Structure 1
Amino acid sequence: MENIPTWTCVVALALRDGKGRWLMHRRPADKHHGGLWEFPGGKVETDETPRNALVREIEEELGLVLEPAACAPVGFAEETSGEGRPPIVIMLYTSVWDGSGMGALEGGEIDWFTPEEAELLAKPPLDVALAAKLFAKGVI
């Protein structure tokens, strides 16, 4: 029997700097949701834990090395329909930036935003839901 995934697990990072701003990644124009802002991250591979996948993805995308224990879970968002593909569940973690160098290594761009600015950015639907959870009173 062929092993077809019934859903896709994705991890994302809400990274905060010392000024209370949050890092967002703008997707390359030629990708799905191109030009929209998202929390950086990526897919969890079958042999990984979500936290280890987050550490790997952030190093690949930003060149930033995180300690798994420094990433705290915040919440998740899920699609109800995958539109012809397995639905996605995004698990959001948060961490504080230590000031080390980083950049958008896999395309797109990165920038820092206050919670108010980040709420106004054009984002994919699941990132809209994640931002609402992250910036809700009492969460951060």
Structure 2
Amino acid sequence: MRLLLVVACALIDADARVLIAQRPEGKALAGLWEFPGGKVDPGERPEQALIRELHEELGIAVKEPCLAPLTFASFAYAEFHLLMPLFICRRWEGLVGAREGQALKWVFPKDLRSYPMPPADAPLIPALIDLLGA
């Protein structure tokens, strides 16, 4: 089975809310909510990929020292096995905006389970609740 490495980020605002993005129509798993991020390109480190993806998707600039690894997901989909480290980030430059047609929402960790997520994302929630409180 093919291994797919994807990185995700829990952007945390001053109110201890986490940013989630809704997958737009036309994408796999459309309508589900997820943490921003994306695929790691060949030869790219996870942190580099995340910095690139956050700029592409949200228009923000993140410096590598501001990314802290928190946990990861390992999930077997039918076509591939997903390995997804989740980083947290509390500092970035620029205003968060939806650059790829996705809806964005700032959510308290205790409320994350109210948003339908891909199967790989849901197991990441307890670590965020432990970090930020319910």
Q: 1:110, CA displacement in angstroms?
A: 0.7
1:87 matched residue in structure 2: 81
Structure 2 unaligned spans of 5+: none
SS in 1 for 2:80: coil
Pairs within 5 Å for 1:1-140? 6-80=2-76, 82-83=77-78, 85-98=79-92, 100-135=94-129, 137=130, 139-140=131-132
Cα shift at 1:97:
4.2
Shift of 1:6: 2.7
Cα distance in 2 for residues equivalent to 1:47 and 1:15:
25
What is the distance in 2 between the residues matched to 1:76 and 1:123?
A: 15
Q: Is the 2:6–2:84 contact (alpha carbons within 8 Å) kept by the matching residues of 1?
A: yes
Residues 15 and 87 of structure 1: is their aligned pair in 2 closer, same or farther, counting only changes over 3 Å? same
TM-score, with length taken from structure 2: 0.91
How big is each residue's C-alpha offset from its partner over 1:9-41, in whole Å with a ceiling of 9 and x where there is no partner?
A: 000000000011110001002211111110000
Deviates more, 1:119-128 or 1:7-16: 119-128
Displacement after TM superposition at 1:98 (Å): 4.6
Would you tell me which structure has more strand in proportion to its own residues? Answer: 2
Measure the CA separation in 1 of the matches of 2:13 and 2:5: 26
Could you tell me how far apart the structure 2 residues matched to 1:60 and 1:41 are? 9
Equivalent pairs, count: 132
Given the superposition, is the C-alpha separation of residues 63 and 99 from structure 1 closer, same or farther in structure 2, using an over 3 Å criterion? closer
Equivalent AA in structure 2 for residue 21 of structure 1: R
For residue 120 of structure 2, give the secondary structure of its aligned residue in structure 1.
helix
Rg larger in structure? 1
**Cα root mean square deviation, aligned:** 1.5
**Is contact 1:18-1:97 (8 Å) kept?**
no
Over the matched positions of the two proteins, sequence identity in percent amounts to 36
